[in-house]
A and B are shown apart, each in its own frame.
Chain A
């Protein structure tokens, strides 16, 4: 029952626009919730309501047991929030900005400098502490926003696109940081980057058109993929001798195989994608066949499942779009 974040039947309307419809989920300490969805799905709006910036039209948000509408200040004290676009006061230096935040956050004066230096070190901001924020690059601005969010060591972190605008190295650093903090905090991050869900999140929630379409682990998300547990093999032969056709027929005859896709590439290599029936693991029977028939197999690989396919199918509501695994 001791959830750090509890969202119940949350609704938000802006005039005629129903931006968030009946969203419910919970986040416990130690969990990193990945908040996914296409642009305009209501991710930021939901996060703004949890952070206490927007009033919900209906429903309830509780953070560490405090209702956001009734005890906004108690909630805000416990949250570190990185708003969308990481806004900050451009005319201030990084250090002055963090001092301001520390003061308003009520960090005791005796610990203030220490905390500020700690978060500067954690986010690698040492090189820009005396620069005005408006002169910083997009990546540094984002990191100043992150530093501001973790400054008071909050129980709950809400990060709206924390890695947006960062280069791959910086993304990696931020992910390490979030992983490190994940043990004793409840964290919600929103992102467009699906690999991030795999790398960071213990749970993923996908919303589209303001509704929750999926709530589960990244592994469950992957298992929804059409090619989940599919096996792709490449044969060092072309089809002229009828070998490939023979192989296809043999594989198709296996009980566990649902269907087979074939594509011949130019360099004398034929690639096959074998889709399993009901998503079961089929590597065992296939490798047995490969060995017993001594097929000219160059490579054999299990497909984990395509997150972007799943994402598309969930958010557009259609069937899984034909994947491009073979190409």
Chain B
């Protein structure tokens, strides 16, 4: 536990000691603003909620989260520090958890910095703040899902660009699987059970319901088990790959 904490602190510090953190946060806030106010028609809808704000999060995360996660392990492998880390008295699980939590905490900070939008909507009207809170929780869980995928992929390669591209593709598949386009394609010939399984893997399906203020235990279990699965895969990948 102490080791996880030490690695967590080091990793989070690493984000802020390079321009990465600031660039990311500025771009994230800028894009959420654009999406919410221009593409989401925040004002024109005349509704006191953050639906247009959260609605674009999956698409923002699709590109921004792999940009955070790509360096998690590939940089360690490239600079050789993975050898240092793995010869410290730290278990692989502790290291993976510490790094993942640092990246997740960093996204939480970026997400928290969108608070002016919450103030705005409260100033303009009387939104249901519990729904907004649920939206934030759902968004953070989804970010965790994306991050766990990205963390695992970044352990596969020394090259951050490759890690980024593969992570985007896999994250895209996880979003797409709930899309009407994909669902329609499968529902025309596959049994309903399979269609359900495919759509149940979609981040969109689970995020949609949380976003509406319904925190269903199934959605929480989905994200928790998704994160657990990818982090476990992450541990296996590092163990296999560290020699090469």
Contacts and interface: CB of A to CB of B under 8 A. Distances in A.
Interface in A65-105: 73, 76-77, 79, 81, 83-85, 87-92, 96, 100-101, 103-105
Nearest to A91: B17
Given A91-B17, A106-B2, A53 B86 contact: yes
Nearest to B239: A55
Given A92-B10, A92-B17, A87 B84 contact: yes
Nearest to B95: A104
B39 interface: no
Nearest to A50: B87
Given A92-B10, A103-B6, A85 B86 contact: no
Q: How large is the interface on B (under 10, 10 to 19, 20 to 34, 35 or more residues)?
A: 20 to 34
Contact of A83 (B3, B17, B87, B89): B87
A276 interface: no
Contact of B81 (A54, A76, A87, A96): A87
Contact of B83 (A73, A87, A89, A91): A87
Nearest to B14: A91
Given A100-B6, A103-B2, A104-B6, A79 B13 contact: no
Nearest to B79: A87
B119 interface: no
A175 to B, nearest CB: 23
Interface string B64-90: 000000000000000111011011111
Contact of B89 (A54, A88, A100, A104): A104
Contacts of B83: 48, 53, 83-84, 87
Contacts of B87: 51-53, 76, 79, 81, 83
Given A76-B87, A85-B80, A87-B80, A104 B3 contact: yes
B2 A90 contact: no
A32 B87 CA distance: 21
B18 interface: yes
Nearest to B86: A53
Contacts of A79: 87
Contact of B10 (A87, A89, A106): A89
A85 B79 CA distance: 9
Q: How large is the interface on A (under 10, 10 to 19, 20 to 34, 35 or more residues)?
A: 20 to 34
B80 to A, nearest CB: 4
A87 B81 CA distance: 5
Contacts of A53: 83, 86-87, 242
A92 B7 CA distance: 13
Contact of A73 (B7, B17, B18, B89): B89
Residue from the set B9, B10, B13, B87 with the largest chain A CB neighbour count within 10 Å: B87
Nearest to A87: B80
Interface in B82-134: 83-84, 86-91
Contacts of A106: 2, 89
Contacts of B3: 104
Given A87-B79, A91-B18, A103-B6, A77 B89 contact: yes
Contacts of B9: 100
B242 A105 contact: no
B217 interface: no
Interface in A201-240: none
Interface in B109-168: none
Contacts of A76: 87-90
Interface of B: 2-3, 6-7, 9-10, 13-14, 17-18, 79-81, 83-84, 86-91, 242-244
Interface of A: 14, 48, 51-54, 73, 76-77, 79, 81, 83-85, 87-92, 96, 100-101, 103-106, 132, 148
Given A87-B80, A89-B79, A90-B79, 18 more contacts: A14-B243, A14-B244, A48-B83, A52-B86, A53-B83, A53-B242, A54-B243, A73-B91, A76-B88, A79-B87, A81-B87, A83-B80, A84-B83, A89-B81, A92-B13, A92-B14, A104-B6, A106-B2
* Closest CB pairs A-B (n = 9): A87-B80, A103-B6, A76-B89, A83-B83, A77-B89, A51-B87, A87-B81, A81-B87, A91-B17
24 contacts: A51-B87, A53-B83, A53-B87, A73-B89, A73-B91, A76-B88, A76-B89, A77-B89, A83-B80, A83-B87, A84-B80, A87-B83, A88-B81, A88-B84, A89-B10, A90-B79, A91-B17, A92-B10, A100-B6, A100-B9, A100-B10, A104-B88, A105-B89, A132-B17
